[in-house]
A and B are shown apart, each in its own frame.
Chain A
Amino acid sequence: MSATPIATTRSSAGMPTGLLAVWWVIASEIVIFGGLLASYIMHRLAHDAWSAHAANTNTWIGAFNTLVLLSSSLAAVLGHKAAEEGDGAKAARQLWYTFAGGATFLVVKGFEWAMEISHGYTISANTFWSFYYTAAGLHATHVLAGIIIMAVVARKAARNVDLHHVELIGVYWHFVDVVWIFLFPLLYIAK
């Protein structure tokens, strides 16, 4: 495996390379979710009939999922602090709590969707449900990707290897949480 290039070790922009790259990932993600949510909001304001469709989303499950993600964000930031102090084991444990939070979120989302589909609200039922599944689906895919990377980072952190990666996956995870913070009212509260 070729050694990591010297280029990675430099920081002429005054920031560690990894963190700079993650912020660029977040910038391009803002624009992806921004485009999707802007389209949803426009359609939602244009079609009053959608509030009747939106009435069929389950606010309690949405609220619980929000609580789960917020708590996993807390665990992620505690993990980041532990990593800064060089305590790999503690950081790994916190990351596994975040992993558990993300996994719970996905499981709960799975049940929620199963229930809604059984009620006949499929993705092609009408355009509200199409946006609902597309937006929540894209977000869930990011949650899934996040927990997979988190597992990899946690296993390395347990051996005190690449502790700076803990911060990187933490910042990405907080972004995924912020997207859900906006998705929750848009899909569940606005009735």
Chain B
Amino acid sequence: MLEPLFQPFLIDWLVPSASTYADDIDFLWELIFWIVGAWFLATEGIFFWLIIKFAKKRSPKAQYITGELKSQKQYISYPHMAVLVFDILILVFAVKVWYDVKQDLPPAESTVRVIGQQWAWTFQNAGPDGKLDSADDITTMNELHVQLGTVYHYKLEALDVLHNFSVPVFRLKQDAIPGRVITGWFEPTLTGEYDVQCAEICGIGHGLMGARIHIETPEQHAAWMASHAPISLASATPDVSAEE
């Protein structure tokens, strides 16, 4: 019932949106951007205008305004009320987007286990039979292969310290906590190869803990699954001192 009111483009211009809820998050971000941007420009504009208008050479004698009278305070209480109203508008959309992304998980068509540990990601793909922890699971290091248009549930956990599974193109981000297996979802809508970043400081190798996500069409995905033995190491992680 609360579909995006307009097609967001600002973040999409910088980072492609490759999942179903990426547009919802982009829209919320942009709704805030326009509301807050308008308020900001108006307030800053009035602020600079007042500085110029009431400079000493233009108004040598200041007025005596206590600001306690109703007539004077209205200039504050009207914008104050307006800020509250816009806050409520933003709040409604924020809670809606949060509920859709984090609380209301659609039924899973496939599952992937994501394990963060000090300084590498291990992905356990459900394999052709679609069931996790079955014999044909494919476990890969720092390389996640997913199929276009399939609703994935990810089971995210950490083995040592806090990590954070973040896929910017999906607008997906969830901390991995040792001692908890957190379930979330995503549905890819764009093929390609993109970054996975660790977004929670996890020690010395935090900066090197990047991984790649490969979103493939159903045929490519099936080919990949067929050609893969259960354990495979991704190409060596890019070495640190890549020269400028």
User: Would A and B touch once assembled, by the CB under 8 A criterion?
Assistant: no
> B: which residues have CB within 8 A of A?
none
> A: which residues have CB within 8 A of B?
none
